[in-house]
Amino acid sequence: MLNNKTISVIIPCKNEEAALYSMLSKMPSYVDEVIVVDNNSTDNTSFIAKTLGAKVVLEKRHIDGVGYGFAHQSGIKKATGDILIALDGDDTYPIEKIKDIVNYMDKSGADFVSCSRFPLSNSKAISPTRRLGIKILNLQVSLLYGYKIRDILSGMWAVKRETARKMELKNGEWNFSPEIKLAALTNPNINFSEFHISHDVRLNGLSKQNIWKTGTNHLLYIINRRLTTDSSLKPKTLKKLAYTSIVATSNNLSKIATKVI
């Protein structure tokens, strides 16, 4: 428990036994609940999760072998904490920063916090090709939504449970990542913000994504969402999003500078 709030960590996994052991072994004691959502693993992911005290949820749904979004949706549904923290199961995100993120949510009044990996603290953590792809998608969001987002594809984010339950999240595969951020960003009843984090090198095998296929799908998804789900957004709303972006970025940089000093 932190600041009188219970904390649930949600980890979607598919064949992450090595990374998962490392992650769960260093989970802070203030985390009240760890939910590992096993999406058709063929290794010992579930066994290791149970052995180290996590709740295991089996999620069989997938689209062409990818069930990343379905896993997150199941985790959100099962979580009981006041604050939900999402982490990819590859042990590249800073678990030790959960406390700082929750404190930031309390101080800023944010309902949803996307944890930005940029600027990178370790240039080897993300390949140049992936970095370029993320920059293109960030620019796309900036142009279509008027919000200068810093990391549309971060796999670490925090959200109040009551906020998450009200979000209409439908995407079952990789596009869940931009979907949840855009759903929070465009909802007038959700205070969206970003918080800078470090990002480590993936040490346990290659990513499961086909980066060119996934990147193209992200690009098309964002365009399609802007023309359909978010087609009713008016210029005034976009200007407000842009203003919120500037204020949130300024506040984050000030807090980071204070910690450094």
Instruction: For residue range 86-112, list pLDDT tens digits in order.
Output: 999 999 999 999 999 999 999 999 999
pLDDT over threshold 60, residue 243: no
**Has residue 217 been placed in a domain?**
yes
Range of the domain at 141: 7-260
Find, among 188, 182, 260, the residue nearest to 224 by Cα.
182
> What integer pLDDT is reported at residue 202 of this predicted model?
79
**Has residue 1 been placed in a domain?**
no
**Has residue 188 been placed in a domain?**
yes
| pLDDT bucket at 234, cuts 50 / 70 / 90 | confident
Overall number of domains in the chain: 1
Mean per-residue pLDDT over the chain, rounded = 91
Q: Convert the pLDDT of each residue in 48-87 to its tens digit.
A: 999 999 999 999 999 999 999 999 999 999 999 999 999 9
**Has residue 2 been placed in a domain?**
no
Rg of the chain over Cα atoms, rounded to whole angstroms, equals: 17
Q: Convert the pLDDT of each residue in 116-169 to its tens digit.
A: 999 999 989 999 999 999 999 999 999 999 999 999 999 999 999 999 998 999
CB atoms within 10 A of CB 125: 16
Residue 135, domain CATH: 3.90.550.10
**Has residue 160 been placed in a domain?**
yes
> What integer pLDDT is reported at residue 257 of this predicted model?
43
**Has residue 44 been placed in a domain?**
yes
Whole-prediction pTM value?
A: 0.89
3-state SS record for the chain: CECCECEEEEEEECCCHHHHHHHHHCCCCCCCEEEEEECCCCCCHHHHHHHCCCEEEECCCCECCECHHHHHHHHHHHCCCCEEEECCCCCCCCHHHHHHHHHHHHHHCCCEEEEECCCCCCCCCCCHHHHHHHHHHHHHHHHHHCCCCCCCCCCCEEEEHHHHHHCCCCCCCCCHHHHHHHHHHHCCCCCEEEEECCCCCCCCCCCCCCHHHHHHHHHHHHHHHHHCCCCCCCHHHHHHHHHHHHHHHHHHHHHHHHHHC
Long-range contacts of 47-51 (CB under 8 A, 24+ apart): 47/17, 48/17, 48/20, 48/21, 48/24, 49/13, 49/20, 49/24
Bigger pLDDT: 207 vs 261: 207
